[in-house]
């Protein structure tokens, strides 16, 4: 069995990329988007890793392999705090301090993945209670 078939590995990789990417977005913001050219490639990697993790978790749930509970609410809360914090800083610090459009797009993607996984969890629960 491949190590990357295990949901725990994808959770670990996703957490690592989340922390690294969010710290990079914050640093880039305070460097007045000096490394803006790196945000898109990092964003694509982050979206891919998060999608793989969420997908494997949901497939596991539907095939009764998913055992642990790691709520995505923490991702949503963390991303919301970061985007709100950067927006407030942008308003306070003025021109030159701009929230990257890719950061906003990633926030929307995190919200979308969370909404989809919540609906999947709800449907799965409904299916199981009918048995």
The percent of residues in the chain predicted with pLDDT above 90, rounded, is 57
Please, which pLDDT band fits residue 16 given cuts at 50, 70 and 90? very high
Q: Across all residues in the chain, what is the average pLDDT?
A: 85
pTM of the full structure: 0.81
Please, which pLDDT band fits residue 54 given cuts at 50, 70 and 90? confident
The confidence score (pLDDT) of residue 57 equals: 78
**Rounded average pLDDT over 15-40:** 96
Q: Which of 83, 81, 92, 102 is nearest to 38 (CA)?
A: 102
Say if residue 47's pLDDT is above 60.
yes
Token digits of residue 49: 């890793």
Number of domains the chain contains: 1
The confidence score (pLDDT) of residue 125 equals: 66
Q: Which domain holds residue 63?
A: 3-130
Specify the higher pLDDT residue, 109 or 6.
109
Say if residue 111's pLDDT is above 70.
yes
The confidence score (pLDDT) of residue 69 equals: 60
């Amino acid at each position: 069995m491949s190590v990357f078939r295990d949901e725990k590995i994808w959770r670990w990789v996703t957490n690592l990329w989340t922390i690294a990417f969010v710290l990079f977005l914050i640093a880039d913001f305070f460097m007045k988007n000096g490394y803006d050219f790196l945000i898109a490639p990092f964003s694509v990697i982050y979206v891919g890793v998060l999608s793989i993790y969420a997908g494997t978790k949901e497939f596991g749930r539907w095939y009764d392999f998913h055992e642990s509970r790691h709520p995505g609410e923490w991702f949503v809360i963390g991303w919301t705090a970061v985007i709100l914090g950067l927006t407030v800083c942008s308003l306070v610090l003025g021109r030159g301090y701009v929230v990257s459009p890719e950061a906003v797009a990633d926030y929307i993607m995190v919200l979308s993945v969370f909404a989809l996984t919540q609906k999947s969890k709800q449907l799965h629960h409904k299916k199981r209670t009918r048995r």
